[in-house]
A and B are shown apart, each in its own frame.
Chain A
Amino acid sequence: MKDDTVKLDLKPGGPATERPISIAIVAMGGQGGGVLTGWIVDLAETHGWVAQSTSVPGVAQRTGATIYYLEMMRPGEGGQKPVLAQMPTPGDVDVVIASEFMEAGRSILRGIVTPDRTTLIASSHRSLSISEKTAPGDSIADSSAVTDAIGVVARHEIVFDMNAMAVQNGSVISSAMFGGLAASGALPFARDAYYDVIRKGGKGIEASIRTFDAAFERAVKGDETPPVASSDTPLPVAILPERLRDRRADAMLTRLRTELPAQAHGFAYLGLQKVVDFQDPAYGDEYLDLLCDLARRDHAANGDAHGFEFTAMAAKYLANAMTYDDVIRVARLKTQSTRRQRVADEVGLKDGQILNTTEFMHPRIEEVASVLPVGLANWLKSRESLYAWLNRRIDKGRRVHTYSLVWFLALYFVGGLKGMRRKSLRHQTEVAHRDAWLADASQALVKNYALGVAMLTFRRLIKGYSDTHIRGQSKFEKVMQATKSIAERDDAPEWAQRLLTSAIKDASSDDIDGTIKTIESFTRA
């Protein structure tokens, strides 16, 4: 800019004027942004600075995003008070404190984080937005976009999970953010001054100071724990155990190791355990039979060149298909000892306290009939009035007190029906569906390897219970039929992927229908 000054034949407009230090706190309602704002104002005022904070209460308190803004400056000569602004100006903010990671991202989009002046202090934890939660599958925003942006736009950054740190130290996130601010050196005040401000508050002073200190150290020293691999990375090559203590398990492991390509070992081993846990070792053998058959097809389709992705995906999705959600499975899971322990940990159960749980179950005749042997189930279904009469007795919400003797025995009994599961109507239905699905995928594999793999992944759409399960199945059918209609096209795998993504992201199935319309338009052409 100096060069420009020389070129202009105008006198400078005035001396460069000092501006106040500006701090924006971006938060969600109820995250203690107000407390933090109060602390910072107090900090400035006790040093004889003039400080002013503003906020917009109202709907933002109800979980929406909001900004607290404050400015501080020394009084002028003769005690002249500075005129302080009430809103941040993009490109002119010294410190941005974000209490959540996507809110840090939003502050960047507002333009209040700029490389020439902004210190960004942000907690890396996520509090998911409603759109991320309501998608019928994984729709969580990609945090790496924020990380990358911070690297480019912030002058200094202090980023770590302040929420976890606060919880660990028995305090709230505002204390951790205050510690981060102190460590950043963005304000010309000593560490002790921060303590004084916290001590003036009424409650939880010790926990606040503990958290403040932990955050300060963490901000100064940086991260000492090694980075955790992101969940998107492919499964690392599995290290299978040498030998298993249980003879039957060991036999299955040996078979898995010798008959399946190494690339599929990881999923197959996990899948095998899941299937055996669901039913019994014989069911594990069935899983391996099916999988080995698919592996042979994979070999024939030159799977070697594709890293045997088909077998690996089959190992994953076949295990899920075989462990369908029926009442027997639910009853077994609810009565496991590990389940009680998990709940106890979750509620922080202490000695001398008693834990009970109440389940919200709503069985219908469909669920009951489906565990009956095929013949009996079909007979029952053919007797419409009996079926309806039974349903009236069964179809209602039940509050099941899991750890009361009566209810536990009832659940335990249902869980014990596992022995007759493979004869049940549900099993018959599941097997038929499974076989058709595998046949479709295997057929596609022959001509288009990627398409075969894509068809295996469609299995992801089938999940849930009752109506949800039916919706999932109809989505699966839609996606499968549409894909089959264009199976001859080279770009079929891309379309398959697109269909699957729409089905996962959108609960209303408008997106899938849109994609299917597009597909239909070029199959007709």
Chain B
Amino acid sequence: MAERSFAKEVQDLKLGEGDQFRGEGILAITKALLQSGVAYVGGYQGSPISHLMDVLADANDILDDLGVIFQSSASEATAGAMLSASVMYPLRGAVAWKSTVGTNVASDALSNLASGGVTGGAMVIVGEDYGEGSSIMQERTHAFAMKSQMWLLDPRPDQECLVNLIEKGFELSEASNTPVMLQVRVRSCHMTGEFTCKDNKRPAFTLQDAMNNPKRDLGRIVLPPAAYDHEVEKIKVRMPTAIDFIRDQNLNEVFGPTGTDKTGKTGLIVLGGMYNSTIRALQFLGLCDAYGNSRVPIYVMNVAYPTIKSEVDTFCEGLDAVLVVEEGQPEYIEQSVTTVLAREKRPTMVHGKDYLPMGGDYTAAVLTDGIGRFLEDHEPKQLGNRAPVPDPVPTLTSPVIDRLRDVVPARPPGLCTGCPERPIFAAMKMVFEETGTHHVSADIGCHLFSILPPFNIGATTMGFGLGPASAAAFNVKGAKRSISIMGDGGFWHNGLTSGIGNAVFNKHDGVFVIVDNFYSSATGGQDILSSRAQNKRRKTNNSIVDAVRGIGVTWVRQVDHTYDVTRMREVLNEALTTDAEGPKIIVASSECMLNKQRREKPKVAKAIKGGKRVVKEKFGVDEDVCTGDHACMRLSGCPSLSIKELDDPLRDDPVASIDDTCVACGNCGEVADAAVLCPSFFRAEVIHNPTGWDRFRANLSGSVIRYLQSLRENRAVRFEDQTT
């Protein structure tokens, strides 16, 4: 079960012709797919696509009703290959993933798909933000679109535009026999908005129709000589057809003065996703109102690739200079526009990265500066009286802010309260205190937070499921063994073969820790092969241990309760020192606490209400036993474990303290024991609705305890004021 439920929101997917939809971008995307009559949908989670996958999963009944097949793909490569259903059959299909990382994984499939081309509309929805929210923030999906010749749509952040572009995108794909990519940015995925709905469409041709009447065509398969024909087809047929379609359907837009009103000498060529920030920048410069009525002509490229020569040519007519607004590098669009105008020997000068930064997010502030300087040079009168633009610099340069800069601490993300991965890294840190540090190859997932304080464990991360593979070279007998870490998500994504299989085959001597928390947790708790929950639509409960044994591993240890720090440390030590040959695999299994709490909390509350005996636990710290050294913090980083100042003038340092969000996972106590830290930690157990036996025992021991306590306490010398 995923972290966020869209059970309520997906009901809006049933809205029909003329209804007004209001909601988040990911729901608008899903609605657009249904309005387009898709036959199948797939994908792999990863922000910002995780929530799109969650929406699809929660909407499964609605998809069933429409005859749409939905799969949680094993990886982006699987999802990409899934689109091959559209090669021979008039089936519309869409897959989604996080880009550019997911596109890297899917590239093999996409190259083949784009070569042979498609019959039914095929769309890849990539969640991309050059910059914010992305993992490899400096790369652009644009490059993949160009190299495989897939059309790249980049809609203006407006749901009406987004939905229209998805619908038209399928038509474009079919018209030009080419798969299409649609890129949406993080903030657009989670942006609220509205649009007017159409009815959902059942696929006219179904997967069943295709399976019962299979077709093949050697000419669509990527083998010479067909592959040579594909190249010619791409250049001579598909590209010109696409250009015609894009132009005829007006997928790109022009704003601002046109025709005889277009008297200025400058214009802006803006990538769709950049539109809102550009409008805000123009507003700051006094060139536009809040409703987008601009005094500067703007050509908005909702289709980022290919460039429509005739449109560019027409737009630039009469302009001395245009500024291209595209984030990131290389400046593909600027180059493309320059080529178009140069070939036609047009006098318009093309600018872009000479006024705007080569890298970094194009915020309204950045654009205001760049566009301002562009106009200053090429058409200063547009800037008029140069209204003051928002400027935080005078505020930020005041001395009181300088002091603040030194005070505000960084707040890196970390493992959640009660996370079962915390004790794994606590144990590893303790092992390193004895043996010295080892080379650790990290992976992608929640466990990557180990690279940050307080654990500071992990040297590299090479991609999802590639933690073990990235330790491949460190296979030297007699050296300090390397350790690689991988989550269960990465394991099933590709790690089983790329990492573990590789290590078995090459007789790798290292230690491989597989963190098994029952979900794809970092992306929001989606189910995977080894999830322990029953899922009526998927087959879960497939053992990781069996899988690694199946691939040839002989040394494998499973720790079924990661919170047992002592055991965790023993197993790590054993793996690092054993004489056994081949990879040493540790499967560390305990359920993701976020998911566990979401499931258990309501159950416990209900049981207590129903009068059942329930023991509720919480950890605490005896503040007079704690000495304020904070050694426990350096082995924890739990959000519920903090420090507090004492109201005791004799004590200088704040002591450990556990707040109400504690879920009694036990890590504090186990660490205090295993690392022999201190006896300050205790677990408080409150028995709700105790039984008669509970009460009898408590009364008996309670009376003895109270007697002994008063005996000792009455004897103590007290400093009581006589006057009070």
Contacts and interface: CB of A to CB of B under 8 A. Distances in A.
Interface residues of B, number: 146
Nearest to B362: A87
Contacts of B522: 59, 62
Interface string B644-677: 0100111111100000000000001110111111
Contacts of B686: 347, 349, 353-355
B392 A136 contact: no
Nearest to A334: B622
B722 A242 contact: yes
B261 to A, nearest CB: 14
Interface in B255-312: 275-277, 279-280, 283-292, 295
Contacts of A55: 187, 190
A13 B404 contact: no
A339 B721 CA distance: 23
17 contacts: A11-B384, A18-B289, A54-B188, A54-B190, A73-B290, A89-B280, A134-B454, A134-B634, A138-B654, A152-B395, A273-B719, A346-B684, A347-B684, A355-B685, A357-B620, A362-B674, A464-B677
B520 to A, nearest CB: 13
B505 interface: no
A266 B649 contact: yes
Given A131-B410, A362-B676, A333 B365 contact: no
Interface string A334-377: 11110100010011010011111111111010000000000000
A162 to B, nearest CB: 16
B209 interface: no
Given A246-B719, A355-B685, A360-B682, A63 B633 contact: no
Interface stretch (A102-110, A173-181, A289-297, A444-452): A102-110
B396 interface: yes
A354 B292 contact: no
B404 A244 contact: no
A472 B630 CA distance: 12
Contact of B653 (A138, A277, A332): A138
A108 B397 CA distance: 11
A468 B654 contact: no
Given A86-B188, A241-B722, A468-B678, A356 B685 contact: yes
A86 B276 contact: yes
Nearest to A238: B649
A160 to B, nearest CB: 19
Interface in A133-167: 133-138, 140-142, 145-146, 148-149, 151-153
B340 interface: no
A20 B396 contact: no
B595 to A, nearest CB: 13
A81 interface: yes
Contacts of B365: 89-91
B380 to A, nearest CB: 8
Interface of B: 22, 47-48, 50-51, 132-133, 157, 185-188, 190-193, 275-277, 279-280, 283-292, 295, 361, 363-365, 368, 380-393, 395-396, 398, 400-401, 403-416, 446, 449, 452-454, 522, 566, 616, 618, 620, 622, 624-625, 627-631, 633-634, 637, 639, 641-643, 645, 648-654, 668-670, 672-679, 681-690, 694-695, 698, 700-702, 704-706, 708-710, 712-713, 716-723
Contacts of A416: 712
Q: Which of B622, B679, B704, B713 has the most CB of A within 10 A?
A: B679
6 tightest CB-CB pairs across the interface, nearest first?
A: A13-B384, A111-B392, A91-B390, A64-B413, A463-B627, A360-B669
B718 A360 contact: no
Contacts of B704: 405, 408
A464 B401 CA distance: 37
A63 B674 contact: no
Interface stretch (A2-10, A184-192, A424-432, A487-495): A2-10
B285 A13 contact: yes
B192 A51 contact: yes
Given A82-B292, A355-B686, A412-B712, 18 more contacts: A19-B290, A57-B50, A58-B186, A59-B413, A86-B185, A86-B187, A91-B392, A109-B408, A129-B409, A131-B453, A140-B643, A145-B403, A153-B401, A270-B648, A320-B651, A343-B620, A357-B682, A467-B676
Contacts of A140: 643, 645, 654
Given A134-B633, A463-B653, A85 B280 contact: yes
A404 B704 CA distance: 10
A14 B287 contact: yes
Contacts of A108: 401, 404
A19 to B, nearest CB: 6
Given A242-B721, A397-B566, A80 B291 contact: yes
A10 B629 contact: no
Nearest to B366: A89
Nearest to B361: A87
Nearest to A29: B413
A303 interface: no
A11 B50 CA distance: 51
A250 B722 CA distance: 10
Interface in A476-511: 504, 507
Contacts of B396: 109, 111
B132 A56 contact: yes
Contacts of A403: 698, 701-702, 705
A270 B364 contact: no
A207 to B, nearest CB: 15
Interface in A359-407: 359-362, 364, 397, 402-405
Given A17-B283, A132-B643, A463-B653, A359 B682 contact: yes
B407 A142 contact: yes
A152 B400 contact: yes
A274 interface: yes
B277 A276 contact: no
Contact of B446 (A54, A62, A242): A62
A395 B7 CA distance: 53
B673 A133 contact: no
Contacts of A53: 190-192
Interface in A21-35: 28-29
A267 B718 CA distance: 17
B409 A141 contact: yes
Contacts of A133: 454, 630, 633, 637, 641-643
Given A109-B401, A415-B712, A145 B414 contact: no
A87 B630 contact: no
A420 interface: no
Nearest to A416: B712
A248 B717 contact: yes
A358 B685 contact: yes
A259 interface: no
A41 B191 CA distance: 11
Contact of A136 (B132, B631, B708, B719): B631
Contacts of B389: 91
Given A57-B47, A241-B722, A152 B454 contact: no
A83 interface: yes
Nearest to B645: A231
A62 B593 CA distance: 12
Given A76-B291, A90-B392, A405-B701, A336 B650 contact: no
Nearest to B659: A127
Given A89-B363, A128-B642, A130-B637, A58 B622 contact: no
Nearest to A135: B630
B297 to A, nearest CB: 15
Nearest to B681: A360
A60 B673 contact: no
A354 B698 contact: yes
B625 A333 contact: yes
Contact of A64 (B411, B620, B673, B679): B411
Nearest to A113: B395
Q: Which of A4, A249, A362 has the most CB of B within 10 A?
A: A362
A367 to B, nearest CB: 10
Contacts of B51: 57
